Structure 1
Amino acid sequence: MLIKTEGIVIRTRDYGESHKVVVLFTAERGKLPVLARGAKKPRSRLGAVTQLFTRGQYLCFLGSGMGTLSQGELISSHHGLRSDLLLTATAAYLVELLDRMTEEKDPSPALYRLLSSTLDQLEGGTDPEILSRIFELKVLEAAGYRPVLDKCALCGSRDRPVRFSVRQGGFLCSDCLHRDPHTLPLSETAARLLRLLQRITPDRIGEVRVKEETKAQLERVLRAFIDEYAGIKFKSRPFLDQLRKDWSKSPDR
C-alpha cells in the first residue's frame, strides 16, 4: 500500500553501509518506522528529508513488515536546531520523550501539532526551558499522567497549594502535607506558572521572561514526576544537563 503523509523525523539509525531506518512521527499514523534506501549516500535524494527534526511530506510503501520510504518533499529542515548545540540537545530530549511515551502506529494529531509547534518555536528563539516544560506536561497528559495542579490532589481544596507531591500526583494543601514527607517546594510564582503551562500551547507563549530560580523549580518538579511515573532512562538528558551546566559557567554568558 502506497501512502502519502506529513511527518517529522524523530529518530534515525544506520542500516548497512548506505541505508537508514527513519522513524517519522505523523498525525494520522503516529510513529512510523520506514527504511530509507541509499539515504546515507552523498547524492541521495532522501538525504535532506531524513535528517533529525526535519518536517516533510513523505511517500511510503507499507507492507506486512517495515515500510519503505520512496520519496520525500521538504517542508521545514529545522537547520537552525541542528546548527546550535544547545538547541540540538534540547530538541533531542523532547523527541526522545515523545518517542518513549508513545506507541507505534497510534494516531495522535494533537501530539503531532505539539511537536511541530514546539520545534518551530524552539528554532524561533522562544525560551527552551519553558517550551520543554509545556511539552513535558502535554506528553504526560496524552500518556495518562496529568499532575493535579488546580487543587489539592488529596482533598480537592482549592485554597492556595503549598508544596508538590510526586507520590500523590500533584499539589497538596497545608492540611494534607503530612501525607507525604517528601514533597517538593514551589514558590507561589512557580506554582501559578506551572498551572498556566499546563493549559497553553507553545505558540501562545510570546515574549516570556522567567527567573532562573523559578525555572529550576519547575524543572525539578516535572523531572521527579516523569522519573516516577514514566520510568524512562534517557540517553539525551545527561548530555543536555552537562551542556547547560557548562554554558552557565561560560564567561560570555
Structure 2
Amino acid sequence: MEWRDEGVLLSARGHGESAAIIEVFTAGHGRHAGVVRGGGSRRIAPILQPGAQLSLAWRARLDAHIGAFTVEPIRSRAGAILSDRLALAGLNSTAALLAFTLPEREPHPDLYAASLALFDALAEGSDWPLLYLRWELNLLEEMGFGLDLGSCALTGSREDLAYVSPRSGRAVSRGAAGEWADRLLPLPPALLGQGPASAAEIAAGLRLTGHFLENHLAPELGHRPLPEARRRLVALLSRTA
C-alpha cells in the first residue's frame, strides 16, 4: 500500500532510538499517523513541528498497518510565530482540536482548506482570532454538530438574533428569549457578520463553541476532556477582553 499527498503536521513524538511517530491532516487521506525513520535526528526533527506543511509519501505492507512516512518540508509555520505567545497558542489549539476530533483516515477536504487558511493567518500575524472562532464553528459543522444561526428557533425571524439554545444549537431572538434569556448562550454579533469582533465578542464566541465542543461533541468521543491547548488559548484571549 502506498500514497502521496500534502498535509499539515499535527503532532510528533519520539519512537525508539531515532524514529518519530507523526500525525498529519491531509485533504485526501484525513488524519493519518505513521513512522518517520530518523525523525529524531538533527536533520529531520526541526522539520517535524506542529503546523508544518509537508510533502508526504506513506507506505505499508497492509492498509491496516501504521506504515512509514517519507517527508519533505514545504513550509514551516511554528518558527514564524515562536515569538508571538498568543499566535503560538492558537496554532497549538488548532492542531490539538484536529487530532482530538477527526476520525482516522477520513477525508474532510473543506475543513482541510479552512484549517490551512487559519494556519497561514497565524503564521503571517494577521488578525486571526475571529477566523479561529469561525474555524471552531466549521469544525462543529464537519463533525455533525453545526449551529443554526440563520433565524430564530421560536419565531423564524432573522432580526435581532442575540442568543443560542444550549440544547439545540439554534439562534433565538432577543424578544423571543424573554424570561429564558439567562438560560441561553449569548450570540456575538460578529458571528452574524455584524461588524468587526471585539476581544469581548471573541471570548463570548469561544464560550459558545466551547459549550458544544464539550457537551455535545466530546461525549460522542468517549467523554474525553477537551485538549489543554484550547483551554490555554481561551485563557489568553479572555485576558485581552
For the aligned pair, the TM-score class normalised by the smaller chain equals 0.7 to 0.9
- Seen in structure 2, the aligned counterparts of structure 1 residues 19 and 243 have a Cα distance that, compared at 3 Å, is farther
TM-score normalized by the length of structure 2: 0.84
- Seen in structure 2, the aligned counterparts of structure 1 residues 82 and 21 have a Cα distance that, compared at 3 Å, is farther
Aligned to 2:221: none
Structure 1 residues 1-253: aligned runs within 5 Å = 1-43=1-43, 46-64=44-62, 65-70=65-70, 72-78=71-77, 79-173=79-173, 174-175=175-176, 177=178, 182-186=183-187, 190-191=188-189, 193-196=190-193, 209-231=196-218, 232-244=225-237, 248=240
User: Aligned with 2:161: secondary structure?
Assistant: coil
Letter of the 1:86 partner, please give it.
Answer: L
1:216 is displaced (CA, Å) by: 2.5
Verify the 8 A CA contact 1:155 1:176 in the aligned structure 2. no
Cα shift readout 1:2-27 (whole Å, capped 9, x = no counterpart): 32110110121221232211001111
1:126 is displaced (CA, Å) by: 2.1
Paired residue total: 231
Verify the 8 A CA contact 1:7 1:26 in the aligned structure 2. yes
Verify the 8 A CA contact 2:114 2:135 in the aligned structure 1. yes
Verify the 8 A CA contact 2:12 2:22 in the aligned structure 1. yes
User: Aligned with 1:157: secondary structure?
Assistant: coil
Verify the 8 A CA contact 2:31 2:106 in the aligned structure 1. yes
Unaligned regions of 5+ residues in structure 2, if any?
219-224
Aligned to 2:222: none
- Stretch of structure 1 that moved more, 165-174 or 130-139: 165-174
Rounded to whole Å, the distance in 1 between the matches of 2:15 and 2:118 is 29
1:172 is displaced (CA, Å) by: 1.2
Cα shift readout 1:51-80 (whole Å, capped 9, x = no counterpart): 21110211221333101013x222111121
- Seen in structure 2, the aligned counterparts of structure 1 residues 225 and 2 have a Cα distance that, compared at 3 Å, is closer
Unaligned regions of 5+ residues in structure 1, if any?
198-207
| Alpha-carbon RMSD | 2.5
